Amino acid sequence: MAELAARASTWWAIFQINFYEKLVYRGDFMLGTLMRFLPIVTQIFLWSAIFSARGGGNSSGEEIVGYTYYNIVAYYLLSTVSRAFSSMPGLASGIALQIRDGEIKKYLVQPLDLISFFLLNRIAHKLTYYIVAAVPFAIVFFVCRGYFNGWPPAQVLCAYVFSLILSFMLGFFMEATIGMIGFWFLEVRSLLFVYMLFTFFLSGHMFPLDMLNELGGPWSTIVKSLPLMYLAYFPAAVFLEKITGAELMWGLIAQVGWVLFFIVASRLAFHYGVKQYSAYGG
């Protein structure tokens, strides 16, 4: 019990240090949040033109694959929130760089778990970000409140918050696993580029993934079998009640499964990576 208390005290101290360190960048967080919503303006004009063309100059009342113009705008706003939870800028590249430069050995000789240390760092980062960015988020959603049909039922809201937390965990452990590949390949920028490219298109950042149902064939099934859809599309679709009932339950179970898969993958990559890692010098 004393050992567990000592370990919890250590993790709490690490979290506090990271939290106060991130607060230094509060101005950057606030400006970055406002800039994050700017690309949505382009999407609003684009989809307004599409719906207007379909409705002969009137965008209201038209539907495309079950989405009205207001649903589409609400989806893009919500997917931005999802991405704010699941995106891990610099995590994988930072881990790979520390492996390549040998900086990682300072963690290996200390009595702490490296992955847990990085996780606490990211939790502190996200917590600081949302404390600072709460005002910009509130302003944007208040201005755009007309695009929403109101708050979903309490159980849907709980499922939405749960899926957001899982999207954070999934994003962290996916990028940590990619970063650990640096133990075998010192340069992972090309791999990261491919990952970011696929994430941009297949996470639902560009469009709601259920629009692929209209294509026919296996495309929709393939895309929805990947973990990337849980980074942006799934939480937004849950909030908009596009996914309900048994489909929602199985979706959350699948999301938990992917999180567990990448927790194990990152642990294995770290375990076997350290075994063949060599560092020299002071």
Q: Residue type at 3?
A: E
pLDDT of residue 121: 85
Q: Please, what's the b/e burial string for 209-247 (b: 16 or more CB within 10 A of its CB; e: otherwise)?
A: bbbbeeeeeeebeebbeebbbbbbbbbbbbbbebbeeee
pLDDT of residue 282: 52
Contact 198, 191 (CB under 8 A): no
Distances (CA, A) of 171 to 2, 36, 89, 113, 269: 33, 18, 10, 19, 16
Q: What pTM did the predictor assign?
A: 0.84
pLDDT in tens, the chain (282 residues): 677 777 777 777 777 777 777 666 666 666 666 666 667 777 777 777 888 777 666 666 677 778 888 888 899 889 888 888 888 888 888 888 888 888 787 777 777 788 888 898 888 888 887 887 777 778 878 888 888 888 889 999 999 999 999 999 999 999 999 988 888 887 778 888 888 888 888 888 888 888 887 766 777 788 888 999 999 999 999 999 988 889 999 999 999 999 999 999 999 999 998 887 776 655
pLDDT of residue 48: 78
Contact 233, 209 (CB under 8 A): yes
pLDDT of residue 67: 84
